Structure 1
Amino acid sequence: MSRVTVTLNGRDFTIGCEAGQEAYLRELAGTLDTRVSDVSGQVGQIGDLRLLLMASLILVDDLKESDSRIEALESQVQRLTHENHGASSLHAEARGRLAGQLGRLAERMEAIAGAIETEDPGECDADSPAQDDAYAEAGA
């Protein structure tokens, strides 16, 4: 176990911590010292215990606000994920309908092409029965 000396409100404190956590503990203590200094600047030196209590309450308030924001964001992510799955289903359904329509259109085009190929070249009349049948099959 390592020992780290941190400074809060101008006073040094030695604290034990796990090996490798010394820098992180100093960072945490620095954040707390900044809050204590802010509170001290607003209300004056009202005693270490009260300054630490007020700074701790401010930090807990910040933590609760962050937790609320995280909860709201997680809820939003869940809603958007659900909406995305719904949109994906709609897109898949639309792709299926489009593929079916393209298949039917291809069949109609093949029917028209077949009718044109079997038609007598001398009968290029726009009113020919074969063309009428081909157009009817194509839905034109």
Structure 2
Amino acid sequence: MGQVTVQINDRAYTVACGDGEEAHLKELATHISAHVSELAREVGQVGESRLLLMASLLVADELFEARSRIKVLEADIEQLTQARIAALERSREAEDLLGDMLDTAARRIEDIARRIEAA
């Protein structure tokens, strides 16, 4: 099991993680630390717990916004998929209609050719 020491608000925290997850954990801690630093600049040092709580709320807000955008994108994908299916069906119908028209034209041409030969 891996272990990582991260710095948040000038304080070191040692956190256990799965082997190979160290870099990802450091990246997450850097993200949290950036929020805590920004909050500390904006509201001052209001206490470690409060800064971490506020940073957690900001990260949770980011998560909820991302989830919301994902839902919108999934709905867009579904709509585009349905439009593509409908377009393919219309294309097949048009191909069938065109095929029928060509068959009819071919029969007419053959009929005209027979009449010309018979004349």
TM over 0.5: same fold?
Answer: yes
Q: Tell me, which stretches of 5 or more residues in structure 1 are unaligned?
A: 120-140
Q: Which has the larger radius of gyration?
A: 1
RMSD: 1.0
Q: Moved runs in structure 1, 4+ residues, more than 4 A?
A: none
Amino acid at match of 1:34: A
Q: In structure 1, what is the Cα distance between the partners aligned to 2:89 and 2:36?
A: 54
* Cα displacement string for residues 75-117 of structure 1 (whole angstroms, at most 9, x for unaligned residues): 1111111121112111111111110010000111111122222
Aligned length: 119
Give the equivalent residue in structure 2 for 1:134. none
Q: In structure 2, what is the Cα distance between the partners aligned to 1:62 and 1:23?
A: 21
Q: Tell me, which stretches of 5 or more residues in structure 2 are unaligned?
A: none
Task: Give the CA deviation at 1:17.
Answer: 0.9
Which residues of 2 match residues 71-110 of structure 1 at below 5 A? 71-110=71-110
* Cα displacement string for residues 34-91 of structure 1 (whole angstroms, at most 9, x for unaligned residues): 1111111111111111111111101101110110110011011111111211121111
Which deviates the most, 84-93 or 30-39?
84-93
Q: In structure 2, what is the Cα distance between the partners aligned to 1:2 and 1:90?
A: 57
Amino acid at match of 1:8: I
Amino acid at match of 2:91: H
Task: Give the CA deviation at 1:118.
Answer: 2.6
1:69 aligns to 2:32 (yes or no): no
Q: In structure 2, what is the Cα distance between the partners aligned to 1:86 and 1:107?
A: 31
SS in structure 2 at match of 1:58: helix
Which residues of 2 match residues 4-23 of structure 1 at below 5 A? 4-23=4-23
Which deviates the most, 6-15 or 105-114?
105-114
Q: In structure 1, what is the Cα distance between the partners aligned to 2:87 and 2:3?
A: 56
